[in-house]
A and B are shown apart, each in its own frame.
Chain A
Amino acid sequence: MKTVICIVCPKGCHLNIDEEHGYEVSGFGCERGIAYGVEEVRRPMRMITSTVRIDNAALPRCPVKLDKPIDKHLIMAAMKELDQVRLTSPVSEGQIVVENVCGSGASFISTRSL
């Protein structure tokens, strides 16, 4: 049995998910909480946003994000990959900065033109 706090709405229901009995969810306030609870126990995914170094730009850091969520346990490894990156201006919004982050198939892309 695992407990997660639902983040679908502000109410923050405490969901109990029974992974040994077909991911049965209890403690939910609405249907959306069931789907969230199951996904959160089976395979928690997260978005990461961060920054990378950039040279010759108005600012020394360029913000980036993943183009799709990755497995939660890969977060710190993904951050390490960003440490190696050094961009040079100009960079445009949406430009790929790191491809296939930690073999996940997701990429880091720039979130502003700089």
Chain B
Amino acid sequence: MYDLIVIGAGPAGLAAAITAAKNGLKKILIAERDREAGGILNQCIHNGFGLHYFKEELTGPEYASRFIRMLADLNIELMLNAMVLEITPERHVHVINRDVGYKVLEAKSIVLAMGCRERTRGAIAIPGSRPAGVLTAGAAQRYVNMEGYMVGRRVLVLGSGDIGLIMARRLTLEGAEVLACLEIMPYSSGLMRNVVQCLDDYDIPLLLSHTIVEIRGDKRVEEAVVARVDQNLKPIAGTEMTFTCDTILLSVGLIPENELTDKAGIEIDPRTKGAIVRENMETSCHGIFACGNVVHVHDLVDFVTEESEIAGRGAAEFVLNEKSETADEMTLLCGDGVSYVVPQIVRRERVAKTQTVYFRVNRLFDKSRVVIRSGENEIAAFKRPYMAPGEMEHVKIPKALLDKAEGAIVISVEEDVS
């Protein structure tokens, strides 16, 4: 019987396991499907990781290795090439691996850290023929940065997610011509610094309110037809232009990878597409926790680490010192301007000093206020100079203010006209 089984050895799983060990858990296993730990960080060879957490700028592999090195010291067991097929509410983990075969492992607690998956051509239904050369930006990143394959020579990037922007620069550096980056929304979904340093630096145009309306090609992509879209995101007839290209990279969003979570009957939030979590990252299933991109898609790994440490502490506390289940569950709801909040439920007596709440806005905001309400009463407000959907936001609500609330709490954003 394990104290804790963590599913996934990416940044979330590593931080959760390490924190659980530091908080007293002895027998910890991480199950990882890849041949090494580190997850997506291994292919993210660019820098910019760790600015918040380590106060220095690291590349993805460097950020990962800081955590991987700690595993051995803490006696954390790492099972590689291991696919978890099922987890149950009784905390049984069905895992398969070439060395051990099919096994059902039992655990006192589980942390779900499976990360997320890229949306594909099918998810956005681009019309046209189906030639080779259409791939997700993350797949291209792995080919180029780890496996040593160049993916194309004349490239169009659809979507302005961060991986797409990073790959536009990367492919340019490796000698490809990146013709443009197209974004259907009127704003970039990636971080501003990536737009500047990955596109502007290399004179790659960012065409906002544009999308691909047809892909042409027999065996390989030959052309893409691009059109401007209107306010309802519908292509405008007569605005079509044709790009000659051999490759199309898709950077059109990420979805938490929750097959295991679903199958275990754990409640999912349709807004985040991840598990509904409490203040300690516990899911609706007692003793099963979740953290990182499997809960909600983050922009910065630093916040994944921070959140996963909460899950690791939560799991340790659950195993060593289980508190009785309490009825006082306060729900956090999305008000105007907010597309999701995490956590969705807070048990006030478990909050120490402040409760951090992560959220995203659903449109651009200039000078504005993040307002926390309980019924009609405003219990807290936080000023922000600027907010965009592409950047995750957070507020720290003091426990004393939470204690004043009755019933659910609503988080909304208002333009600050003062």
Assess whether A2 is interfacial by the CB under 8 Å rule: no
In the complex, A63 Cα to B35 Cα: how many Å? 17
Segment of B194-202, B259-267, B284-292 in the binding face: B194-202
Assess whether A5 is interfacial by the CB under 8 Å rule: yes
Beyond A59-B146, A93-B65, whether A10 also contacts B191 by CB under 8 A is yes
Segment of B112-120, B329-337, B385-393 in the binding face: B385-393
Name the interface residues of B368-390: CB closer than 8 Å to any CB of A: 385-386, 388
Residues of chain B within 8 A (CB-CB) of A60 are 147-148
Mark interface residues in A53-91 (1 if CB within 8 Å of B CB, else 0).
100001111010100000010011001000000000000
In the complex, A47 Cα to B280 Cα: how many Å? 38
Which residues of A come within 8 Å of B, CB atoms?
Answer: 5, 7, 10-12, 29, 46-51, 53, 58-61, 63, 65, 72, 75-76, 79, 93, 111-113
Which residues of B come within 8 Å of A, CB atoms?
Answer: 35-36, 42, 45-47, 57, 59, 61-62, 65, 144-148, 173-174, 191-193, 195-197, 200-201, 385-386, 388, 391
In the complex the two chains form, is A112's CB within 8 Å of B62's CB? yes
Beyond A5-B200, A29-B385, whether A63 also contacts B147 by CB under 8 A is no
Give me 19 A-to-B residue pairs in the complex whose CB atoms sit less than 8 angstroms apart, sorted by A's number.
Answer: A5-B196, A7-B192, A11-B385, A12-B196, A48-B173, A49-B47, A50-B174, A51-B45, A53-B148, A58-B35, A58-B36, A59-B147, A59-B148, A61-B145, A63-B45, A79-B173, A93-B62, A111-B61, A112-B62
In the complex the two chains form, is B146's CB within 8 Å of A61's CB? yes
Q: Identify the closest chain B residue to A63 (Cβ).
A: B45
Q: Identify the closest chain A residue to B188 (Cβ).
A: A12
Beyond A58-B35, A61-B145, whether A46 also contacts B47 by CB under 8 A is no
In the complex the two chains form, is B61's CB within 8 Å of A63's CB? yes
In the complex, A11 Cα to B364 Cα: how many Å? 10
Q: Which one of A29, A50, A53, A76 contacts B45 once the chains associate, using CB atoms below 8 Å?
A: A50
Residues of chain B within 8 A (CB-CB) of A72 are 201
Residues of chain A within 8 A (CB-CB) of B148 are 51, 53, 59-61
Beyond A46-B197, A49-B47, A111-B59, whether A10 also contacts B35 by CB under 8 A is no
In the complex, A58 Cα to B201 Cα: how many Å? 33
In the complex the two chains form, is A49's CB within 8 Å of B46's CB? yes
A-B pairs, 10 with minimum CB distance: A7-B193, A112-B61, A63-B45, A60-B148, A11-B386, A12-B192, A111-B59, A61-B148, A10-B391, A49-B46
Q: Which one of B59, B174, B391 contacts A63 once the chains associate, using CB atoms below 8 Å?
A: B59
In the complex the two chains form, is B47's CB within 8 Å of A112's CB? no
Residues of chain A within 8 A (CB-CB) of B147 are 59-61
